[in-house]
Amino acid sequence: MRDIPGTVSCIDGNTFIVSDPSGDVDAAPATPVGLFTADTRYLSRWVLTINGERMTALSVDDSQYYEVAFFLVPGGQVDYVEADVSAIRRRRIGPELSESLTVFNYGVRDADLDVRLEVAADFADIFDIKFDIREKAGSHYTQIEANELTLGYRRGTFQREVSVTASEPATVDPHGMRFQLRLPPGQHWSTQLRATMRAPRPDGRDWRDAVRKLRPDESTLPDTVRAWIAADPQLDTDNTALQQVYHRSLVDLAALRFAPLSLGGATVPAAGLPWFMTLFGRDSLLTCLQTLHVTPSLTPPTLRILGALQGVRRDDILDADPGRILHELRYGESAAFEEQPHSPYYGTVDASPLFVVLLDEYERWTGDAALVRELEQEARAALDWIDQHADLTSTGYVWYERRNQATGLENQCWKDSWDSISYSDGRLPGFPRATCEVQGYAYDAKTRGARLARTFWDDPACADRLEQEAAALKDRFNRDFWLDERGYYALALDHDGTPVDALSSNIGHLLWSGIVPPDRAPRVVEHLMSPALFSGWGVRTLAEGQSRYNPLGYHNGTVWPFDNSFIAWGLRRYGFATEAGRIAKGIIDAATYFHGRLPEAFGGFDRQTTRYPVRYPTAGSPQAWSSGASLLLIRTMLGMDPHEGHLAVSPALPPGFGRIALLDIPGRWGKVDAFARHRPVRPPTDGTDSFPSPSLE
Amino acid sequence: MPVTDAFFEQLADVGHDPRLCKVHGSVRFDIRDGDRLRQWLLSIDHGQLRVTPGDGPAQAVLKLSTEVAEAMVRGELNGLSAMLRGEILVDGDLALALRMGRLFPSPAAAREVGHPWARR
């Protein structure tokens, strides 16, 4: 797979189009550009020419996520364009793609114009693109009618189809449509183009009809976006970078909302463009955790759908167990024919504990006890999964080893690429593996589960048991994972219990979960902020000096904004406000180089050397938990935490942030404001900078 | 279709199914065998299950062939995948229909791991 710099995207949930800056789509098989819905590429070619020439963009307006306007002139990239003829392509995405094309003649004589739109549809599954699979098992077909070109793909009873129509008379051929026109001086010509995507069943009806009927009318999109932004807290700050990233994050979170089939119309965050435009357990749970103080409405549907799709039985293809929360749900051809196990796939070990963590944190913010009671059974099943199905070696840890050896995931933690878990010398451990941060999540889940059991489920015995288990896990973990001579926690345990000794960002999550004894925290923090891990922008996934370190290694050296936001949260929890502030400042600074839209990851190069954050080649953008990262960093700078029914605020602003005010923060208190002014941060000596947290002893 | 009938008759005997304790609604299976149509109506009230053969209004209707139905009750079929393929047609409440997958045996229990991915 590869991606193209300078793409322009237009998004509506899991329907999206990614094009070049002129609005054209000219997709190579392994390039994630084109028009997509339900994990399928419906347009792989969508190229505009005038008199045989491709167009060049003079400017692009993509300030709204669901529409883009391209201002174009014919011809290639040149220093100076003498443009008599120009065009505006105004694109909008909803259930279908609509594009209004207007051509202007500002010359002094008539212009004879041959306007052509080239169209092709390869119906590639997103995994065909990812793995560069070019042969399709089914067959393509083409139908031509007046002003309408239909391209389709059929494999048995599986059918996907796109129809392109034009409002003006066109000559249609199998590869596109053509408009011949004579345009007098000062005149313009327009046509409305429409690409309608269908997934017909054998009886001709679209299987998505029932779900689509539940979505609001396309024309109300601007209103719903305005309402979404208006309902969120207002940010008032003198830091323009923070203002920009906050606004962009809210818009992108709105863009990524989509309605899965199983949820009766409610929307949850899709994970990210272009590879992850669907429901992911881990991504959606962590995104909700990051955004509770701003957009708590994302959380109930997320918990409900993950609960509804919770595993109920063992399945060795889907890597499912009773109580396990899903990893990934797909709707494309590879899921339909079970060439990929995504219907749905359960190969993650952190989503189950994080389900309980989110349920508890959500209640702490909102006071919504009804949801805690509604999801009692699911939360208990997720907690039971930790002990009954994840402890593969009976040693009291959460382990993973895929049972689906053909297409399951080798690494089932957030760093889920094949080489992400290694020893310091580069060796890869055997299976099963137990990564450190997941033990922290399990500890946190048990601790929080105990509160839920005692307060809402009327089950003090269960609460006592969970608390004892959490305490025992903490002791065990600090015995088996701690590398005393190095002063940090092992990245993982190998199958035989040997600590996998690489220095990684994972240790930062342990602070967030509270499994680190306070006397060990300073040594962990020293490593996190050391030049080996901290690049100047953020904490690298893997420390410089580790054998597999590569500043452009997906999980082996890049900086992930989401990862850093949880590390910053952990640092505040343990009283390291200055260090949390350095991370917040570094990540917000980096965002300005991405126009306020933090990508999935960026290069781990030293900030002093490159002076700008280096783009990671295939990074997703927008990415839900990267958008969420800026919101969580605001929470950590303000030191906000629910405390006995009110919102506690303990601000610690890093240099460069003179003032931050977050207004109308929703919660069990109604709406309140949080204010912060910059003052020098005290050194973390007495722990008074930590904000109250119910589960930290 | 004795296998399928036996499956639904057995469901009727169960009466309560904890796997459906969050489910409330009615679901009909329309199973076509050539010209013959066999229908089963499930009324679910938070896990309380009433199964009757025959027609009747339902919030979700699943239309499938007898081959697909038999594969499902033998645990050889992932219901969501079959729906995406166009082998199970759902009318009405899709979310409710998808909950029914829990009633059928696990596909992976019935087949060898790795087998269905010959293409990759």
Q: What is the mean pLDDT of residues A220-229?
A: 79
Residue burial B32-68, b: 16+ Cβ < 10 Å; e: rest: beeeeebbbbbbbeeeebebeeeeeebbbbbbbebeb
- Would you call B81 and A337 a contact, using CB atoms and an 8 Å cutoff? yes
Q: Give the pLDDT band of residue A680 (cuts 50, 70, 90).
A: low
Average pLDDT over residues A674-689: 66
Q: Are A67 and A92 in contact (CB under 8 A)?
A: yes
Q: Residue A174, class by beta-carbon neighbours within 10 Å (0-12 exposed, 13-18 middle, 19+ buried)?
A: exposed
Q: At which residue do the structure tokens 């505009």 appear?
A: A48
Instruction: State the Rg of chain A over Cα.
Output: 26
Give tens-digit pLDDT for A427-470: 999 999 999 999 999 999 999 999 999 999 999 999 999 999 99
Give the mean pLDDT of A641-659: 94
- Between chains, do B117 and A308 touch, taking CB under 8 Å as contact? no
Q: Is the ipTM of this complex over 0.95?
A: no
pLDDT at residue A684, rounded to an integer: 53
| Averaged confidence pLDDT in chain A | 93
Pick from B89, B92, B108: which is nearest to A315 by CB? Answer: B108
> Quick one: pLDDT at residue A156?
96
A325: tokens are: 């929360």
Tokens of A558: 């890049």
pLDDT at B120: 27
pLDDT band at B112 (very low <50, low <70, confident <90, very high): very low
Scanning A67-158, the segments in alpha helix (DSSP H) are 126-130
pLDDT tens digits, one per residue of A458-517: 999 999 999 999 999 999 999 999 999 999 999 999 999 999 999 999 999 999 999 999
| d(CA A167, nearest CA chain B) in Å | 32
Predicted confidence (pLDDT) per residue in A152-179, tens digit: 999 999 999 999 999 999 999 999 999 9
Cβ separation of B108 and A335 shorter than 8 Å? no
Residues sharing a CB contact under 8 Å with residue A35, sequence separation 6 or more, in sequence order: A16, A17, A25, A41, A42, A43, A46, A97, A162, A195, A197
At residue B14 the predicted structure's pLDDT band, cuts being 50, 70 and 90, is confident
* CA-based nearest residue to A453, from A367, A368, A383: A383
pLDDT at A188: 97
Confidence check: pLDDT of B108 > 70: no
As annotated, the residues of chain A forming the CATH 2.70.98.40 domain(s) are 8-210
- Arithmetic mean of pLDDT, A316-336: 95
Residue A316 forms contact with B (CB below 8 Å)? yes
Residue A386 pLDDT: 98
A-B interface: how many C-beta pairs under 8 angstroms? 101
Q: Which of B102, B109, B116 sits opposite A338 (nearest CB)?
A: B116
For residue range A48-106, list pLDDT tens digits in order.
999 999 999 989 988 788 999 999 999 876 555 567 999 999 999 988 999 999 999 99
Distances A316 to A332, A340, A342, A346 between C-alpha atoms, Å: 21, 13, 13, 10
Cite the beta strand spans of A259-324 per DSSP E: 268-269, 279-280
Please report the sign of the dihedral spanned by the C-alpha atoms of residue B85, residue B90, residue B93, residue B98.
Answer: negative
pLDDT value, residue A689: 47
DSSP state of A276: B
Cβ distance A312 to B19 less than 8 Å, yes or no, reads yes
Name the phi and psi angles at A184, rounded to 5: -65, 160
Is residue A266 pLDDT above 70, yes or no?
A: yes
CA–CA dist A28, A434 (Å, integer): 39
pLDDT of residue B113: 39
pLDDT for B110 beyond 50:
no
- pLDDT surpassing 70 at residue A216: no
Domains of chain B, CATH where assigned: 2-101 (3.30.1050.10)
Residues of chain A in contact with residue B119, where contact means CB-CB under 8 angstroms, are: 137, 339
Write a three-state SS string for A343-382: CCECCCCCHHHHHHHHHHHHHHHHCCHHHHHHCHHHHHHH
Average pLDDT estimate for B28-32 = 96
The predicted-structure confidence for A399-418, as pLDDT tens digits, reads as follows 999 999 999 999 999 999 99
Q: Does the structural domain A8-210 have CATH classification 3.40.50.300?
A: no
* pLDDT tens readout for residues A523-559: 999 999 999 999 999 999 999 999 999 999 999 999 9
A163 CA to centre of own chain: 30
Beta-sheet pairing, B36-45 with B24-33 = antiparallel
